Amino acid sequence: MLKIILLIGTGSFLGGVLRFLGSRFVQNQMNSAFPFGTFSVNIIGSLLIGLFYGLAERGNLMNNELRIFLTIGFCGGFTTFSTFTNENIALLKDGNFLYFSLYAGLSVFLGLMATYLGNLTTKLI
C-alpha cells in the first residue's frame, strides 16, 4: 500500500508542477482574459488520461503500477478535469445516459455554485 501511495504522490507532484508551468506558459503567450492556460491543461490532461487508459486496456503495454502512477497520480495532479471526463466517457460507454447527464450537469453547476459560495463566505468573515 505504501508503494502505491508513493507512486500516486510522485505522479501528483510531477503533474501539479507541469500544470503550473504549462498553464502559466500558455497564458503568458496569449493576450486575453480567457483562461487559455487552464483550458489547454484540462484538454491535454483529458487526452492523456484517455491515452493512458486506452494503453492499459490493450493488455501488456502497461502494468498496474504504471497505470496508477500515470492516471491517478500524474493526470490527477495535472488536472482533475481529466478524471471527470474519463468517468463521463465510462458512463457513456456503459449506456448510463441518465447518470452521465446528472454527473456532468450537476458537477459543472454545483462546482460553480460551491466555488461562488466559498468565495462569498470569505467575504462575509
In this predicted structure, the answer to whether residue 125 has a pLDDT above a threshold of 80 is no
pLDDT > 90 in the chain, percent: 72
d(C-alpha 81, C-alpha 51), whole Å = 15
- Mean pLDDT, to the nearest integer, of 104-110? 94
Query: Whole-number mean pLDDT of the chain?
Result: 92
d(C-alpha 116, C-alpha 76), whole Å = 23
- Mean pLDDT, to the nearest integer, of 26-43? 91
**pLDDT tens string 43-75:** 999 999 999 988 888 878 889 999 999 999 999
Helices (H) and strands (E) in the chain, counts: 6, 0
**C-alpha distances out from residue 78 to 7, 36, 106, 112, Å:** 15, 15, 23, 20
Residue 53 is placed in which grid cell? 487508459
pLDDT at 3: 97
pLDDT at 108: 93
Residue 74 is placed in which grid cell? 500524474
pLDDT at 118: 87
Residue 59 φ then ψ, to 5°: 115, -115
Going from N- to C-terminal start, the domains of the chain cover: 2-79
- Mean pLDDT, to the nearest integer, of 77-93? 91
d(C-alpha 100, C-alpha 71), whole Å = 21
